[in-house]
Each structure stands twice: as structure tokens, then as C-alpha cells.
Amino acid sequence: MKIVIIDGYTLNPGDLSWEGFEALGDLTVYDRSSDEEVAERSQGAEALITNKAIVSRELIESLESLKYIGVLATGVNIVDLDAATVRNIPVCNIAGYGPYSVAQMAFAHILNHTHHLAEHVADVKDGGWSRCPDFCYWLHPLIELKDLTLGIVGLGMIGRASAGIAKGFGMKVLAHDPFVSGDPPEGIEFTDLDELFSQSDFLTLHCPLTDDNEKFVNADRLAQMKSTAFLVNTARGPLVDEDALASVLNEGRIAGAGVDVLFEEPPGMDNPLMTAKNCSITPHISWATKMARSRLMGMAVDNLVAYKKGEITNCVNL
């Protein structure tokens, strides 16, 4: 089997091994591929593996040997699923490889905000503490999480991991997820979006992006939030109307935001959140701990092993 990994660098910049794929066939790995290079480099592939490179209808139709598409991520919007289905080509993704890593990043943003950690570190290195007449100082009021409310949109594995961390801090946890039925897990209260946005001191997004929820965090939703509330997005950038978020931040109508994802990635420097007040941006790294990437690698190999055995797993289109 000829296996082509079209953009492998973000998963494996050199600290993991491709040996699992190497054992399954003739492997070629490209660190990165431009749109123009994808078509050329994919020729002859029986198994095409992508992270963010686009696998379009035109590409799928042009690859006569193609039998399998693997996505090194959970989201599969980069693949034309209809075109793959027409040719009976399974598209297999990876889910559940890093819920604790993503939840950890959500709380990294929360804790950075509550203690203004980055600002204090920078000020100390700039001599602020050395010049201080007292044994300590703080640049902003510091916030304790106990008894404050965390609102979670999306109560899958990541949302539940975030809830567990919140409960460890003594927080109240509200959640909204229209796809979860029955009673909520212990210590979590289900509610509607109106109450979630209006009651949360910290609101974190852990839901998938769908046609129905793009930019659902819009001006109206943001207007429901407390002026002291903080928004976290480690899910998908298009869930948030970035212009609306920048406006409420610059006008002080919410306290801040921490985002690990943006509508366009990499972003242009004209993105309104780049200059928005009290907005911390990290470069889509919540998934990227070595432990999570190692699990992802193993699951991607397992998906291809299953395909070769005729036992397709994690298929999203057939």
C-alpha cells in the first residue's frame, strides 16, 4: 500500500515516530504541502493522510488509486465527504485523543486571567518588583475561582474534563448540550443558552462547529454576559463573531477573553482580536501536548490497520 502523509509536521515535528505507518506500506511524509503541491504529491496514493491540507472533490476524482482517507484531527471539513462517499472511500478521523490537554488549556487561559500571570511575569522582569517599596504588589485585582460559575457549551469528553477541573477549584458548573440527554453528571447543572451566558463568570466553548452554530457567539449573546465575565474558546474559531467580541472587549462590556482558535488560521494581523483589550491569543496549541499527539498518532495508525483488515473504524461518511 502506498501511503502519503501530505502535511505531517504539526503532528510530528520530530519528537514522534512514523514507524507505525511505515510498517503498513510504502510511506512518504511531507512536512507541508501547498494547494498546488497536494495534487502532485498525492498521485498514486492508496491511503492519503491529511491534517489540514484540503482534499477536494477534484483531487478525489483525480486519484484513481485512492482507497482510504485518514484525517489527523477530529474535524473533517477539509475533506469533500460527498465525493469520497460516491467512490466508496472511507474517511476516518480521530476523536478523544486529547480531552485533558484541551481542558488544561482552557484553564490556562482562565488562570492567566484571574492572576494576570503574563503581565506580572513581564513586569517583574522589567524591574517592577525590584522597585516596589513593599514585599509584594499586584497590577490588577486577583480573582479566586471558588464559588464562581463555569458555563460549558458542549458536554462531550472535553467539556466533562473541564467540569472536573472546575469542581476541583470549588466552582459551580452549568452546561448546555442539546445532544446529551438524561440527567447530567454529578455536580453539573443543565441549562439553556440564555441562562448559561447570563449566569457564567467564565464561559468555555467545547462544542463542534456545525452549519447551525457558526458565529452563534454573536453580539446578542455577548450582550447577555456579565461585565465581569470571561470567554474562552479552545473549540473552533468560527463559533465566535470576532468583530462582535472585539467590540465588547474594547468597550469593557466583558472582562476578557482567551482564545486558542481563530476564524482564519494563521490569522492576518488585521484580525480585530489582535488588538482587542484583555484578549489572550494562543496559536491553536490546546491539542498539541506530546502525550495527546502520541495518542493521536497511535489512533491514526489503528484506523489504517483496521481498514486493511476490512474492519473500518472511526469512519465519518460510509
Enumerate the active-site residues: 236, 265, 284
Give the burial class of 97: count Cβ atoms within 10 A of its Cβ; 0-12 exposed, 13-18 middle, 19 or more buried: buried
CA distance 160 to 155: 6
In the chain, the DSSP E strands lie at 2-5, 26-29, 47-50, 68-71, 91-92, 149-153, 172-176, 188-190, 202-205, 230-233, 256-259, 279-281
Query: Quick one: which of 193, 202, 187, 183 has its CA closest to 103?
Result: 202
* Contact between 107 and 165 (Cβ < 8 Å): yes
Cell of 73: 484531527
| Distance (Å) of CA 137 to CA 6, 62, 128, 133 | 51, 64, 9, 9
Q: What share of the chain is helix, strand, coil (3-state, %, to 5)?
A: 35, 15, 50
* Contact between 50 and 79 (Cβ < 8 Å): yes
